[in-house]
Amino acid sequence: LHNHGSWRPKRLLDTPRFTLSFNSWHRKNHQGSQALWKHEAVQKYLEALSKEYQQLSHLLSADSLNDFEQRTLRRRCADLSPIAAAFQEIKEAEREVQELEAMCTELDSRDEKQLLELALEEKESLDEKMNVLCRKLFQLLVPKEKYDRSPVILEVTAGRTTGGDICQQFTKEMFEMYQNYADYKRWTFDIVNYTPAEIGGLHHAAAHISGENVYRHLKYEGGTHRVQRIPETGMSSRMQRIHTGTMSVIVLPQPEEVDVKVDPKDLRIDTFRARGAGGQHVNKTDSAVRIVHLPTG
């Protein structure tokens, strides 16, 4: 950074020793998260991230940062803030566990069984808390994809080949579900298009959803969804059978910043004399300019 040292961001889990599969070690036993937490390499890495967060917080207070530097630092700081907070929370919980273990040792030496039993129950509760905190921390370390922070355009469309009314009703329920989920996550949900069906369902709808990590949470929703149910219309018992309906969901990330880079070598600049009114100035000077992007014409 300009006039602020040689800070360089560290990628989360960017070396092979940190590319650990959360699911693989978590399936082995419930203590796996604490075992990973106590690993020396993990401790050093988390300490480095915590120090980087403190350094960034100090740099952001400087008045000489330009807009680009502030935007870059704030974005990195936003990534590190929950990691640093979780790291400190686990450190505090770990100190509590150590104090409780010392207490259990003392109670055992004095043969105070009732107090020892209570202390062991509290230790078990703290161990479970440590496991939860460690899992939360390691999930925060999972590298984020390029558009995870981006807002999205979400479209839902009722199936047109099977299901009929069931597809349209299912599409409406799905769209309302996404709307309620956005409200739960405190996102902004703006309806762009809404085409209702005649019987109360939904043919097609689209919404612009913005907020924190919207695409990260919704990117796997895209595709075809299926429902199987018995229609609620007044059919006889013989006609009541399971009907299948489908609907499709499209999730498109919307980049907040569009960075277009044009190589000057790809441009051809032509100058020539303009036509129309202008007198001698138009006739004697090349006042018309045309720029052609050669790769696209």
In a domain, 130, yes or no: yes
In a domain, 278, yes or no: yes
In a domain, 258, yes or no: no
Q: Which residue has the higher pLDDT, 111 or 54?
A: 54
pLDDT of 23: 41
Highest mean pLDDT among 58-62, 146-150, 235-239: 146-150
* Residue 63 scores a pLDDT above 60: yes
Q: Are residues 32 and 78 in the same domain?
A: yes
In a domain, 146, yes or no: no
| 8 A C-beta contact, residue 288 and residue 272 | yes
Q: Are residues 221 and 106 in the same domain?
A: no
pTM of full prediction above 0.75: no
In a domain, 273, yes or no: yes
With 0-12 CB in 10 A as exposed, 13-18 as middle and 19+ as buried, what is 90? buried
CA-nearest of 51, 117, 54, 122 to 93 is: 122
Domain that holds residue 237: 152-253
In a domain, 4, yes or no: no
In DSSP terms, which residues pair with 210 in a beta bridge?
A: 188
To the nearest whole percent, how much of the chain has pLDDT over 70? 78
CA distance 297 to 295: 6
Q: Are residues 182 and 239 in the same domain?
A: yes
Q: Is 211 left (phi over 0), alpha (psi -120 to 50) or beta?
A: left
CA distance 179 to 105: 54
In DSSP terms, which residues pair with 175 in a beta bridge?
A: none
Q: What is the mean pLDDT of residues 49-76?
A: 83
Q: Are residues 164 and 220 in the same domain?
A: yes
Q: How confident is the model at residue 110 (pLDDT cuts 50, 70, 90)?
A: confident
Q: Domain boundary residue among 140, 174, 196?
A: 140
- Please give the tally of structural domains in the chain: 3
In a domain, 104, yes or no: yes
In this predicted model, what pLDDT tens digit does every residue of 11-54 receive, in sequence order? Answer: 554 433 443 443 443 444 445 677 778 888 888 999 999 999 98
Q: Are residues 33 and 136 in the same domain?
A: yes
